[in-house]
Amino acid sequence: MNPLLAPSTLPFGFPDFTAIDEEHLEEAFAVGMAEHRAEVAAITARGGPPTFDDTVVALERYGATLRRVSAVFATLVGSLSTPGVQEIEVRVAPQLAAHADAISLDPDLFARLDALFTARHDLQLDPESLRLLEHRHRDAVRAGARLAAPEQERLRALNAELSTLSAEFGSRLLADMNAAAVVVHDPAELDGLSPDAVASAARAAEARGRPGRYLLPLVLPTGQPALAVLTDRNLRERLFRASISRGARGDAHDTRELVTRLAAVRAERAALLGHPHHASWVIEINTADSLEAVSAMLGVLVPPAVRNAEEEAAELTTRAGHPLEPWDRAFYAEQVRRERDVDDAALRPYLELERVLRDGVFHAAGVLYGLRFAERHDLPAYHPDVRVFDVTVESGEPVGLFVADHYARPTKRGGAWMNSFVEQSQLLGTRPVVLNTLNLTKPAEGEPTLLTVAEVRTLFHEFGHALHGLLSDVRYPTFAGSGVPRDVVEFPSQVNEVWLRDPSVVARYARHHRTGEPLPDALRDRLTDPSPHFGQGFATTEYLAAALLDLAWHRLGPDERVDDVEAFEAAALEAAGIPATMPPRYRSAYFNHAFGGGYAAAYYSYIWSEVLDADAVEWFTERGGLRRENGEAFRDAVLARGGSVEPSEAYRAFRGRDPDIAPLLARRGLTAVPCDDRRDDTAPPGGELRAGREESGSRYS
């Protein structure tokens, strides 16, 4: 029996991972796709004119097996990517692309959708149902339903190739991250690392067959955490060069030909679909609406961000007493932060994972939304490190399940993310089962997991995504939780970060892991201080560089080809005003968001969402912060609505007006910039650009 071919009998439909083997996956995919095609064929075989229920609602109901196996497989690909799973991904990815095309390009199905769309204003649909019909029709058109047969055949081939290339990019990058990890022979070179970090490096080396050595694994972004504390400058250089070499070392894991091919195929597909480039096709359905609007916003932010970063670099050069290399910046910036702002080394003993999770993240959700969390040990997870929590409201009524997978391992892809095993839907009668995945270093058995401030932020950030799924209250699964435009999907998660600095929350979670003593006043004041901190110029610049690099790749036309990835990257960043001395958060060869994930031409989304985030945080602050009535207002207007209403409408319902960009600029410490000559139709949310920044860390996961 294949356990994926029937609904799970476990609470909330949680997958029975004790019964699921790799051998079940391909069979379940094959059966799920065949079942889905048969269901769609039944829709198109119906006689008479189409109805909303027998076509649009039916599409929402159908494909249950495929949804089930896809949710399980997506988790395994990201978090337990064994060689077997990677091989299955390469084989299945083009099959899934072909299946999606078979549904989207089915002429009989589109004829029914088109007829309903044409008559939509006569159908007397409620607003959510009307929105669903419009989205289904829009997505079919965007997928090529109106193309002629020859163009559709070419489109199918391009989609299949894209799915294969993206899967291969992720697999190669994971392999190269493991291969490029830095091995250290002499423990004296690790001076500056905390004792628990040194012990973790020793265990990592032993796990990789290098007993007696020390291994520094790589995280996904360019900047590696150890660069801030290692006193050995040669080791810092080795670590930095290992980071920026990923995917570009000329071996079997090299991703550069995948990057250029992905960009070319995306450009050709966009042209088939009537767009000048892939960025146009992506942004068309986002809240930004146009590449020009995105470019205008980023273009205004770059000069003051670079200016601040250069001022920071000048100060760090003076402190270092020698020219500042890229592997020096974090080390000397950390010294300044320890003196002026947040001292990670002093704070870590007070930031223990279990207390931060329960007394910080869960506590804030309890105060704001009345949620309660109780760990359960009866549900079979896919790895021993994975934990499962019942989520209820105060009355005991169930909400769903929250799943936490916090620790790094060689089979887990870098970064942090949220996804769902089951999505909330009134139509399907399902409650949400959501997963947060992080990549924390696992301590020795019996030792505490001590966090940096950036890791605490990531914990709160990803849980903001989880809340979007848990508190969803929509009829149709298409709109559940984070089923919103890509450039607002980060809005709730970024808002949730504010609670890590709330004094009442800090007082609960920031306690010494051995003594239980609260933070000393000086450290507490630094942690709760919302003012811009040192290093924000560089943090903003490295993010903007990556966002602009993403757009440069995806504004290429179908006749433009790139032969040299590094040369293209350098030219694109220079043209955008990014100094060569400030590397982007991701270089092309390891830019998984753009080439292995779902953020192609949309990495700008983080800062676009942050306009909403900073303005919403100001709303919370004006109304007393962590209060139930504030949480209920945010839940009812934003979190519960998912994609069932236009994001701008949801925001106005919450805020009472359109968003203002001034709080974002104030947060980031950017100097005021003139905007009188900028056209209104290229303005970001809120229109006028005024005076700001953000704390360095892992906001751009």
Active site residues: 462
Q: What does the DSSP assignment read for 511-560? A: B-TTT-PBPPHHHHHHHH--S--TTHHHHHHHHHHHHHHHHHHHT--TT-
Side by side, the strands of the sheet bearing 371-376 are 371-376, 387-393, 398-407, 433-440, 417-422
| DSSP H or E segment with residue 372 | strand 371-376
Contact 192, 228 (CB under 8 A): no
What's the rounded Cα separation, in Å, for the pair 61 and 596? 29
Residues paired with 405 in a beta bridge: 437
DSSP code, position 215 = E
Instruction: Provide the Cα torsion 362, 368, 374, 380; round to 10°.
Output: -70
What's the rounded Cα separation, in Å, for the pair 366 and 372? 6
Sign of CA dihedral 182, 186, 189, 191: positive
Residues paired with 430 in a beta bridge: 425
Contacts of 688 (CB under 8 A, 6+ apart): 660, 661, 662, 675
HEC letters along 100-124: HHHHHCCHHHHHHHHHHHHCHHHCC
Q: Nearest CA to 422 among 67, 100, 59?
A: 67
Q: Please return the burial class of 220, using the count of CB atoms within 10 Å of its CB with bins 0-12, 13-18 and 19+.
A: buried
What's the rounded Cα separation, in Å, for the pair 40 and 38? 5
What's the rounded Cα separation, in Å, for the pair 678 and 373? 48
Using DSSP's 3-state secondary structure scheme, residue 404 falls into: strand
Q: Nearest CA to 498 among 602, 622, 392?
A: 622
Contacts of 21 (CB under 8 A, 6+ apart): none
Structure tokens at 273: 């679909």
CA dist 105 to 62, 109, 143, 398, Å?
17, 8, 7, 40
CA dist 221 to 6, 170, 332, 539, 590, Å?
40, 14, 19, 12, 8
Contact 293, 611 (CB under 8 A): no
Sign of CA dihedral 104, 110, 112, 113: positive
What's the rounded Cα separation, in Å, for the pair 471 and 394? 14
> Whose structure tokens read 């811009």?
532
